[in-house]
Amino acid sequence: MEQQNNMGIAGRLAAVVIAIVIMLAFYYGLNHLVMGMQGLPLNLDLTPAG
Amino acid sequence: MKQTEFIRRLDVSRLTAMLFPLLVLLVFGLVDAAQADVGMGNAQERITPIGEVRLQGQPPVEIAAKPAAIQEQEVELRAAPRPSRADYPDIGVSSRAIVWVLGQMHLFFGALVLAVPLFVLLIELVGVYTRDDRYDDMAHEFMKISLIGFSITAIFGGSLALALFLLYPDLMAYLMHVFGSQWLVYAGLFFFESFFLYVYYYGWNALRYGNLKWVHLTLGLLLNASGLTIMVMANSWATFMMAPSGVNEVGAVVGNIWEVMKGPLWNPINLHRFIANIAFGGAVVGAYAAFKFLSAKDPVKRAHYDWMGYTSNFIAILAFLPLPFAGYWLMAEIYAYSQQMGITAMGGILAWLFIVQAVLIGTILLAGNFYLWSGMSRTDGSERYKGLIKVIALVLVVCFLIWVTPHTLILSASEISLLGGSHHHILGPLGIMPAKNIAVNLMLIATFLSFQLYRRSDKVATVSWAPMGNALMIAVYIGAVVNIIFLGVYYGYFTNTVYKVGSSVAQVVTTLLVIVFGLVIDALMFKKAKVLPSHWGRIPDRAQYALFALPIAFTWLMALMGYVRSSVKTHWHVYTVMKDNSPDNFIPAIGYAGNMITLVTVLFLLCVLFMFWVANLSGSKQRKPETALAGGEA
């Protein structure tokens, strides 16, 4: 908890925002992978390519 | 010195118990080797045909060639019987109702006694690794509760078999013909299961420490192996009746026993029942812990049963989380096997039962979450997370309401005109699967969050990267929620059906990844955490009622979905190959089924109360009457 306090609110907020961006990119890739594995390809904007 | 001690403790009976599995394997191995020596590979080759003689180690000697007519007669296939109404015995009571009650009761107890040894073995293993005797005692107590369940399972199983042979003789004759010697293997497995069960239970204290503990764990493993084999064999009969394999279009056997067993629905049912049994077993033993907690006055006992209740709830909810996905797989395979069967289940008369199912699953999740929230009062560190509980509760309630929103309503003409159509303009879209998929996944994620907060409530992370770990965990949840809603809304409402179905898989993977991320991050982040004191027994009494709600909802749910699973065969004993011509060859009405389901649920709960009572009875001892002593002295 002490470690968390040392980071400050702004720092924690920035870490959360960066992590969210990373995770959204991860889920974006996951959607392509899972849909592609089922023979349902997607375009870059996630619209159906099939 | 240690070796001498070990040998001294290893008396003949223990040695026999230890070596029995090895002896069995050895005997089978020797028999197999002997057969290999004489050049007899499979059963067909081992059995000498009529009219032939065979000397050991020699090729068969043909005495005389058989006439062609006899040979043709031998290979003629035997079609499934076509019984008429008169072929079904009439005993004055609905045959289906009798078989329904006996079959469901057998399944309830079968599920319980298969599941309990599974998690008992794991708890025992945890006890070995943590060197904490409390785990061992709890595992032993779980076994004590379920022990009488084995006898009840056998009683209902025997009664069911007799009822089936009496009331459905042609069907049973056909199934006997199809599965052949597999029935004897099934019966034989009961001997193994009983042997391992009794040695495992009664040998608990005799095989408690050192190397003997590993012998005990091996016995537990063999007990579970026997139980699971029994389950998958019995499942093959149910799935053969739903989706027959290894037979031709008239039901004649054309494949071997393996081809008969491994029908398209076998593994989906195996997985679904395996997971569901664990959740069900956890819920039932949780009710026992709640009962003992409420009746105990001693703080030490209350602490013990509080911990036992927590562990049971943990098992039930953890097993429950992946269950909907196993259910999806089963339904997907049912649709893949027969669209008609899938539509009968989810698009016809039975579709409404999935709304009832949603109510019951919602009850289970709400009860499980409520218990976790109440349990957080055991630690002072839980204050940090109390604000989040309100958010989780809101998510659960909103998703629950979406899940129970029906799509097709039974309406009069005036109601349709008042509504402005057959579907409500706002609630209508919530009645279809994309909305429900979003709701289910979010409920599971919210439940996992409750679980994660509970686990964190008595710990403070000390690793330097804890803020980054927390940021990542928050992002995992937010990203998953966004992704699940996006997948459900976009592909569910704005693309074609194929993409709609495909996106549900991506939703499931997203939910499972949240669980995996949560477990991994917490395991690493709280490895050397500062542990805050937990006060076992410090939980409101009302939380125990959540533990009672769980087995009731689970039991009702199992009976309900059992009715659906069996009903999708409609008027067939064995789908498409053997028609049901009995007076009950129709899907029973929902009201009638509701009464039957309630009846078996109440019966099961009464039997469970009996089990608890007997388990309690074994620990009580009557005091010696003082009057007798007084009389003696006089």
CA torsion B130-B199-B219-B19 (nearest 10°) is 120
Per-residue confidence (pLDDT) for residue B476, from 0 to 100: 97
Nearest to A20 among B470, B479, B513 (CB): B479
Question: pTM of this prediction?
Answer: 0.80
Question: Do the chains contact at A16 and B506, CB–CB below 8 Å?
Answer: no
pLDDT at B28: 42
Residue written as token pair 């979450």? B369
Please answer yes or no on whether B506 and A30 come within 8 Å at the CB atom. Answer: yes
pLDDT in the model for residue B420: 81
Query: Which secondary-structure segment (H or E) carries B432?
Result: none
pLDDT in tens, B93-105: 999 999 999 999 9
Closest chain A residue by Cα to residue B468: A15
Question: Smallest Cβ distance to A3: which of B467, B483, B499?
Answer: B467
Residues 6+ positions from B240 with CB-CB distance below 8 Å: B175, B178, B179, B260, B261, B263, B574
State both tokens at B559: 């009976």
Interface residue of A6, A37, A40 to substitute, partner B, most B CBs within 10 Å: A40
> In the prediction, which pLDDT does B433 show?
87
B418 or B27: which leads in pLDDT: B418
Q: Any residues with CB less than 8 A from the CB of B33 and at least 6 apart, and which?
A: none
A18 to chain B nearest CA, in Å?
9
Mean pLDDT of the B285-311 span: 93
Give strand pairing partners of B579.
B572
DSSP letter for B246, please: S
Q: Which pLDDT value is given to residue B44?
A: 46
Section B487-516 average pLDDT: 93
Rounded to an integer, the average pLDDT of B123-146 is: 91
Give B466→chain A minimum CA distance, Å: 7
The residues that bridge with B459 in the sheet, in sequence order, are B531
Distance from the Cα of residue B161 to its chain's centroid: 21
Are B462 and B529 in contact by the 8 Å Cβ rule? The answer is: yes
- The answer to whether B483 and A27 have CB atoms below 8 angstroms apart is yes
Query: How does DSSP classify residue B533?
Result: P
Asked if B471 reaches chain A (Cβ–Cβ under 8 Å), the answer is yes
DSSP string over B74-124:
HH---PPP---GGGS---SS-HHHHHHHHHHHHHHHHHHHHHHHHHHHHHH
Mean pLDDT of the B163-183 span = 95
Structure confidence by residue, pLDDT tens digits, B568-593: 999 999 999 999 999 999 999 889 99
Would you state the pLDDT for residue B556? 96
Residues of B in contact with A46 (CB under 8 A): 490
Task: Give the Cα separation of B591 and B96 in Å (integer).
Answer: 16
The H or E element containing residue B526 is: none
A49 touches chain B (CB under 8 A): no
Alpha-carbon span B512 to B501, nearest angstrom = 17
> What is the DSSP-derived secondary structure letter of residue B253?
B
List the single residue in A1, A3, A19 with the smallest CB-CB distance to B471.
Answer: A19
Interface test mutation site (partner B, options A5, A24, A31, A42, max chain B beta carbons within 10 A): A31
For residue B125, pLDDT beyond 60: yes
CA distances to A21, B56, B223, B241 from B267, rounded to whole Å, are: 39, 41, 21, 14
- Contacts of residue B109, defined as CB under 8 A and 6 or more positions apart, other chains included, come to B149, B152, B153, B156, B604, B607
Residue range B137-149: mean pLDDT, rounded: 90
Per-residue pLDDT, averaged over B489-505, amounts to: 91
Q: How far is A49 from chain B (nearest CA, A)?
A: 10
Task: Delimit the domains of chain B by residue range.
Answer: 30-66
Answer whether A20 sits within 8 Å of B464, measured CB to CB.
no
pLDDT at B199 over 80: yes
Over residues B434-451, the pLDDT tens digits come to 999 999 999 999 999 999
User: Look-up: residue for tokens 């239970």?
Assistant: B201
Find chain B residues with C-beta within 8 A of A12's C-beta: 467, 470-471
Altogether, the residues listed in chain B come to a count of 634
Residue B285 tokens read as 């033993």
On chain A, the residues whose CB falls within 8 A of the CB of B472 are 19, 23
Query: SS3 of B63, please?
Result: coil
How near does any CA of chain A get to the CA of B94, in Å? 47
In chain A, residues with a C-beta closer than 8 Å to the C-beta of B495 are 47-48
pLDDT band for B46, please (50, 70, 90 cuts). very low
Q: Tens digits of per-residue pLDDT, B73-124?
A: 555 688 999 999 999 999 999 999 999 999 999 999 999 999 999 999 999 9
Give me the residues of B, 505-524, that contact A with CB < 8 A: 505-506, 509-510, 513
Distance CA B207, CA B215 (A): 7
Q: Which residues of A touch B496 (CB under 8 A)?
A: 48
Q: How confident is the model at residue B627 (pLDDT cuts 50, 70, 90)?
A: low
Test B467 with A12 for CB contact under 8 angstroms. Answer: yes
Which of these, B521, B508, B510, lies nearest to B474 by C-alpha position? B521
pLDDT at B71: 56
Rounded to whole angstroms, how far apart are CA atoms B494 and B491?
Answer: 6
B425 has a pLDDT exceeding 60: yes
Contacts 24+ apart (CB under 8 A), B230-234: B230/B114, B230/B186, B230/B189, B230/B190, B230/B193, B231/B110, B231/B114, B231/B270, B231/B273, B231/B274, B231/B277, B232/B266, B232/B270, B233/B182, B233/B185, B233/B186, B233/B189, B233/B261, B234/B110, B234/B186
pLDDT tens profile B304-333 = 999 999 999 999 988 998 898 899 889 989
The nearest alpha carbon in chain A to B484 belongs to A27
Residues B532-571: pLDDT tens digits?
A: 888 999 999 999 999 999 999 999 999 999 999 999 999 9
Question: Bigger pLDDT: B495 or B15?
Answer: B495
Q: pLDDT confidence of B29, banded at 50, 70, 90?
A: very low
The Cα–Cα gap between B538 and B532 comes to: 15
Predicted ipTM? 0.91
pLDDT under 70 in chain A at which residues? Answer: 1-7, 50
How many other CB atoms are found less than 10 A from the CB of residue B6?
12
Residues in chain A closer than 8 A to B464 (CB atoms): 3
- What are the distances in angstroms from CA B121 to CA B27, B201, B305? 27, 11, 19
- Report CB contact under 8 Å: A16, B474: yes
- Cα separations in angstroms, B282 against B95, B166, B326, B550: 33, 35, 18, 9
- A3 to chain B, any CB pair closer than 8 A? The answer is yes
Residues of chain A contacting B498 with CB distance shorter than 8 Å: 40, 50
Concatenating the DSSP letter of every residue in chain A gives -HHHHHH-HHHHHHHHHHHHHHHHHHHHHHHHHHHHHTT--B-TTS-B--
Pick B510's closest partner by Cβ from A20, A27, A47.
A27
Residues B199, B196: Cα–Cα separation, whole Å: 5
B475 vs A16: CB contact, 8 Å cut-off? yes
